[in-house]
Amino acid sequence: MKLRRTFVYRSDCIPAVRSRNSSLRKRKKSTLQKHWVRLKRFVVARLARLADQLGLLRQHVDRLSVQVNALQNRVDALTPAQGGIVSFLRARVGTLATIETPAGTLFGTIILVGEDFVQLREADGSIVFVPLRNVLSVV
Residues 68-92 have pLDDT tens digits of 999 988 887 776 666 688 888 999 9
Sign of CA dihedral 5, 9, 15, 16: negative
CATH topology for 83-138? Answer: SH3 type barrels. (2.30.30)
> Is this prediction's pTM over 0.85?
no
Sign of CA dihedral 10, 16, 21, 27: negative
At residue 29 the predicted structure's pLDDT band, cuts being 50, 70 and 90, is: low
Whole-number Å distance between alpha carbons of 38 and 87: 71
